[in-house]
Amino acid sequence: MAHKFINEIEAGETIDDIYMVREPILRSTTRGDLYIAMFLSDRTGQLNGRMWQATETIYKALPKPGFIHIQGRSELYQNNLQIIINNISVIDATGVCVEDFLARTDKDTDKMFEEVKKTVGRIKNPQLKALVEEFLADTELMEKFCKAPGGTALHHNYLGGLLEHTLNMLKVAVAILPLYPDVQPDLVLAGIFLHDMGKTEELSYDMAFSYTDSGQLIGHIVKTALIVNQKADALRAKGTQIDQAVLDALEHIILSHHGEYEFGSPKLPATPEAFMVYYIDDLDAKVAQVRAAIDNEPGDSNWTAWKNALQTRLYRKRIE
């Protein structure tokens, strides 16, 4: 049976479906009866849920957060929809279609990953080629690479977003590299493929998009540098030559790709390749961010609300 999405529920319906439960709280009414308040959500939105005549046993069994199957009824309360729950059963996350609960790219991740592989297949420098292939051969990492979001908030913040963003950057690079014959294409392509690889470890995205402890303490820029270093060490242990100069030039692109110290880059771009990857990354991220902000703005005003990260409101009207 198809999932009943949160944004499709109207007042007065019978509800019998799985939702993600977050922040459940056990409270007592003024008469001393216990009830549970909670948020119920899927990828389309979130509602308040109330289970009256609750017990501490039910409360303790609830995942925080996690998935529950509920039976109940929707109703309007102070002009907001809420769900009155009669029955709760906890659901194992493994049996749940996570895409119903987390936003995901509307593109085909398999196809996108094939395109990524094809594009980095253009790399001719044997050491960069070996390094990239070492990554492609790490199927566990590649699975994460295909699933991870591109970020938690501003752009590509959905499952598959990292892959989509990386592929788009590769396409931009392939399109413009012929216009800059002095720029070394292998470094640019390898740099783009790897630039955000550490986000697979920086972000968690099973229940919601958030930062891991390790991600917050280290950051994806250094995480990426560490992984690249480990792969190079592994290759060297297998007898493959990886010159320090090649590794340094590649890691420099990764470490400088935010372009400014205040955005967490420990190094500023110092090679044409580092500048190119920085601009392609920023261009693709900002256009996606502007696009998303314009699309997600409620109402039909010509302007979005103030966007602090861009220090402006955005103009939504098209002239063409």
Q: Is 208 in the site for a second copy (CB under 8 A)?
A: no
CB 5 within 8 A of CB 81: no
Q: Is 134 in the site for a second copy (CB under 8 A)?
A: no
Q: Is 52 in the site for a second copy (CB under 8 A)?
A: no
CA distance 192 to 275: 12
Nearer to a second copy, 5 or 303 (CB): 303
Q: Which residue among 179, 238, 298, 308 contacts a second copy (CB under 8 A)?
A: 179
Q: Is 153 in the site for a second copy (CB under 8 A)?
A: no
Q: Which residue among 187, 194, 203, 235 contacts a second copy (CB under 8 A)?
A: 187
Instruction: Map residues 265-284 to x or -, x wherever contact with a second copy holds by CB under 8 A.
Output: xxxxxxxx--xx--xx-xx-
Q: Which residue among 186, 198, 202, 209 contacts a second copy (CB under 8 A)?
A: 186
Instruction: Map residues 104-133 to x or -, x wherever contact with a second copy holds by CB under 8 A.
Output: --------------------xx--------
Stretch that binds a second copy, among 44-52, 101-109, 129-137, 247-255 (CB under 8 A): 247-255
Instruction: Map residues 281-320 to x or -, x wherever contact with a second copy holds by CB under 8 A.
Output: -xx--xx--xx--x-------xx------xxxxxx-xxxx
Smallest separation (angstroms) from a second copy to the CB of 187: 7
Instruction: Look up residue 72 and give its two tokens.
Output: 């109940």
Residues 23-42 close enough to bind a second copy by CB under 8 A: 27-30
Sign of the four-CA dihedral 105, 106, 108, 112: negative
Smallest separation (angstroms) from a second copy to the CB of 4: 21
CA distance 240 to 290: 43
Nearer to a second copy, 149 or 185 (CB): 185
